Amino acid sequence: MGAQENPTRNCHANLFARARCCLDSADVGAKLAATAAAAADFAAGILGLDDAFDVPLPIGMPGRPARPHLVSPRKLPHRGLGTAEGRAALVHAVAHIEFNAINLAWDAVYRFRGMPPDYYRDWVGIAADEARHFALLHTRLHELGHVYGDFDAHDGLWEMAVKTSGSCLQRMALVPRVLEARGLDVTPGMIERLRSAGDAATVAILDLILREEVAHVAAGSRWFAWCCARADVEPDATFADLVALHVRGAIKGPFNIPARLAAGFSHAELARLEAAA
């Protein structure tokens, strides 16, 4: 086992140091800029994978602005889409998911060492995509008269990151393939409701996000299968066991079967999920 990582190391030392700096950035604009720069530097070969076996720091809260105020999901009000305020609240909710997804992608890079180079290429690219999604949604929020932080939000995505911080196999199973995959199921309904409300601008953003999130969930499926092969366990049964242990009560249908198949789910897995729902 390597030495405990130095939290004060130069952000430019390697990919892991840069990922930590992106995670720690609390200012929204700074996090977006740091993410874009890190992705560009990694693609250019500037950030290497040296010190890959240093022990990462224990997971904690990532950098985030003081607002939005985080509350239980049950305390979030339900708003209709017939008003600009209601549409802004929906855009804010999706933006919050995308902001969390930036941190989740960087934590997947930072925390899990000794993975193949393609793993890091996937998750650095996903971090850049999520930052771009957030920026589009934040611009749309401005057009609707609001900014990120104007509405309350919840922290369910990061809570699962904490639960799975000790296992890449569990992280790949339960974050991209459960929590993020839920977006594949619910986004088409949001798009139709917004289209009915005449909000073509938000529809265009969500259409783009839906297409690109299929590839993100597929990366989770790919690396979950890789981790299962490394651990010599059967993927479908392992996924079912993890869902039953950690999130069975949270599984809800209906499922976007074509999108989930494209994202690497097997027919057997989807049958189990439908039974669990």
**DSSP characters over the chain:** --PBP-TTS-TTSSHHHHHHHHHH--SHHHHHHHHHHHHHHHHTT-S--TTTTSBPPPP-PPP--S-SPB--GGGSPP--SSSHHHHHHHHHHHHHHHHHHHHHHHHHHHH--S--HHHHHHHHHHHHHHHHHHHHHHHHHHHTT--TTSS-B--HHHHHHHHTTT-HHHHHHHIIIIIIHHHHHHHHHHHHHHHHTT-HHHHHHHHHHHHHHHHHHHHHHHHHHHHHHHHT--HHHHHHHHHHHHTGGG------HHHHHHTT--HHHHHHHHHH-
Mind listing the pLDDT tens digit for each residue in 181-228?
999 999 999 999 999 999 999 999 999 999 999 999 999 999 999 999
Mind listing the pLDDT tens digit for each residue in 1-52?
444 555 445 787 899 999 999 999 999 999 999 999 999 999 999 999 987 5
CA pair distance 109, 118, nearest whole angstrom? 11
What is the average per-residue pLDDT within 87-99? 95
What pLDDT score was predicted for residue 30?
Answer: 96
Give percent above pLDDT 70 in the chain: 95
State the virtual CA torsion across 199, 186, 105, 240 in degrees, nearest 10: 180
Q: Which CATH architecture has domain 79-276?
A: Up-down Bundle (1.20)
What pLDDT score was predicted for residue 7?
Answer: 46
Segments making up each domain of the chain, as ranges: 79-276
Give percent above pLDDT 90 in the chain: 78
Of 7-21, 67-81, 123-137, where does the model show the most confidence? 123-137
What is the average per-residue pLDDT within 102-129? 97
CA pair distance 225, 232, nearest whole angstrom? 10
What pLDDT score was predicted for residue 53?
Answer: 59
Mind listing the pLDDT tens digit for each residue in 140-167?
999 999 999 999 998 778 889 999 999 9
What pLDDT score was predicted for residue 52?
Answer: 58
What pLDDT score was predicted for residue 5?
Answer: 53
Using CB atoms within 10 Å of the CB of residue 215, give its burial: 0 to 12 exposed, 13 to 18 middle, 19+ buried: middle
Q: pLDDT at residue 131 above 90?
A: yes
